[in-house]
Amino acid sequence: MIQWYYADAQRQRHGPVEDRDIRALYQRGELNAQTLVWREGLSEWASLESLSEELALHTIAPAATGGIDLRADLAAIANGTAPLPGTGGGTHSPYAASQTAMGSGNGPVNSDGPIVHAGLWRRFAASIIDSLVTSIASYIVLIPLALVLGIGMGEILGSESSAGSIVFMLAQYALGIGIPAAYFGWMHSSSSMASLGKMAVGIKVCRTDGQAMSFARAIGRYFAYTLFALFTCGLGVLISGLMVAFSQRKQALHDMICDTIVVDRWAFTDQPELQKEGLDTITIVVLALFGLLLIGGIVLAIVAGAAIASLAN
């Protein structure tokens, strides 16, 4: 089923709606031949007039006019009298409202195009990759530190205690918090607006208006999630997942606190048609590997438990 989006006279985006809804609105006069619409597959917003045959509008008698005057809008753009996006005044099409992010160097922001919010599984796959990245980064620092302090495996595992093991434990906790905070703060506030995991699955995190976060907000978002998970003894992770699965804009609690959303990498750009719903190939591969490792771990635990029980008997 084709899903359509349309812009009203106030430049507000509506949808998704079906073909018959577009025809009904056209017949009632709420849309006219110059109203701008968009569906997946179109490279940009187009007038209903240009899509008349596809929508079978020639079989409908239009009522009084409404919507956006595309000809006047294009003429205003051509002679330089069109208002800047977001400044109000005049008629301006949503496609022409595509603009550059203010002073951030983060590329074009088109807040009027359809927005695909990242679902739970894409976010989960990204978190798996990011956890692997931050863990490797931590061990790159911790292993040389253990060699410098001259501590053995017993001290690392906590079965033995010494001054070196205490220093190592404190460093482990500090790096376990500091490295992810710096990593997410830096990556999420960068021009890509995405960590390595999010880049891999094709999503990004941004403000609700499509702008990039500041470094401070990105760190705050990380700590909001971490503290919520700690204070709920890990239950916050499950709660956040449920919120992403069922909230309207797929926001977790830390997203709501920090005014952020996680969206497809092509959202808020001048090419919204490149956005993808559902799971991409990398997400499926990551989730499959994680599932296999989880099943393998469970099987290994069962086998080990049975072996220990048999030895005890």
| 272-310 pLDDT tens trace | 888 988 899 999 999 999 999 999 999 999 999 888 988
Q: At what angle do helices 163-188 and 120-149 cross, to 10 degrees?
A: 140
- pLDDT the model gives residue 223: 95
Please choose, from the candidates 4, 61, 79, the residue with its C-alpha nearest in 3D space to the C-alpha of residue 35: 4
Give the Cα separation of 217 and 211 in Å (integer).
12
CB 255 within 8 A of CB 261: yes
Report the pLDDT value the prediction gives residue 96, as an integer from 0 to 100.
Answer: 37
Contacts of 214 (CB under 8 A, 6+ apart): 189
Give me 38's structure tokens.
Answer: 């968009």
Strand ranges (E), 162-239: 203-207
CB 189 within 8 A of CB 214: yes
Question: Which H helix or E strand runs over 201?
Answer: helix 196-201
The identity of residue 83, as a single letter, is P
- Band (77; pLDDT cuts 50, 70, 90): very low
Q: Mind listing the pLDDT tens digit for each residue in 31-41?
A: 888 888 888 88
Give 138-156 pLDDT, tens digit per residue: 989 888 887 777 765 555 5
Q: Give per-residue pLDDT as tens, 166-214.
A: 777 888 889 989 999 999 999 999 999 999 999 999 999 999 988 999 9
pLDDT at residue 91 greater than cutoff 90:
no
Q: What are phi and psi of 146, to 5 degrees?
A: -65, -40
Does residue 31 come out as left (phi exceeding 0), alpha (psi in the -120 to 50 range) or beta? Answer: beta
CA distance 186 to 194: 9
Reply yes or no on whether the pLDDT at 313 is more than 90: no
Distance in angstroms (rounded) separating the CA atoms of residues 198 and 2: 28
Bigger pLDDT: 123 vs 310 = 123
Residues 6+ apart with CB under 8 A from 83: 89, 90, 92
